[in-house]
Amino acid sequence: MLFHVRMDVAIPHDLDPEVRADLVAREKARALDLQASGVWPELWRIVGEYANVSIFDVESNDALHDLLASLPLFPFMSIQVTPLATHPSKLGA
Ligand SMILES: O=C(O)C[C@H]1C=CC(=O)O1
């Protein structure tokens, strides 16, 4: 199942800089692992915002929720999920 996901990141400005750097480094490592595994095929930065749009390819709503909740930055993100279906006018559909 494909999902369009928007993540807006809001790390508190008063968070200890070392804690912040560790969080961001762990988030990047997790994101790279998930992309390599194929479940996170698209990851794009939204111009001018600390936010991304992503496509996830997972087996279920529960699988997506567990994956998103496993992200180190999850406590600092607002997340919007849109489930995707095949468009009848897509070439080859
Ligand atoms: O920076 C972000 O958009 C948040 C998150 C998503 C991937 C990653 O490395 O961090």
Task: Render 33-83 in DSSP notation, one character per residue.
Answer: HHHHHTS--EEEEPTTSSEEEEEEE-S-HHHHHHHHHTSTTGGGEEEEEEE
- Measured in Å, residue 93 CA sits from the centre of ligand 1 at 32
Average pLDDT over every residue of 44-50 = 98
Average pLDDT over every residue of 75-81 = 98
Nearest alpha-carbon partner for 1 in 44, 64, 70:
64
What ipTM describes this predicted complex?
0.96
Atom 8 of ligand 1, nearest CA residue: 28
Ligand 1 atom nearest residue 45's Cα? 3
pLDDT for the residue numbered 41: 98
Residue 93 has pLDDT above 80, yes or no: no
pLDDT for the residue numbered 92: 86
Would the pTM count as exceeding 0.90?
yes
Nearest alpha-carbon partner for 38 in 59, 9, 66, 7:
59
Ligand 1 atom nearest residue 30's Cα? 9
Pocket residues: Cβ below 6 A from ligand 1: 7, 9, 27-28, 31, 52, 73
Q: Which CATH class is domain 2-84?
A: alpha beta
Residue 20 has pLDDT above 80, yes or no: yes
Ligand 1 atom nearest residue 77's Cα? 4
90/74 Cα distance (integer angstroms):
33
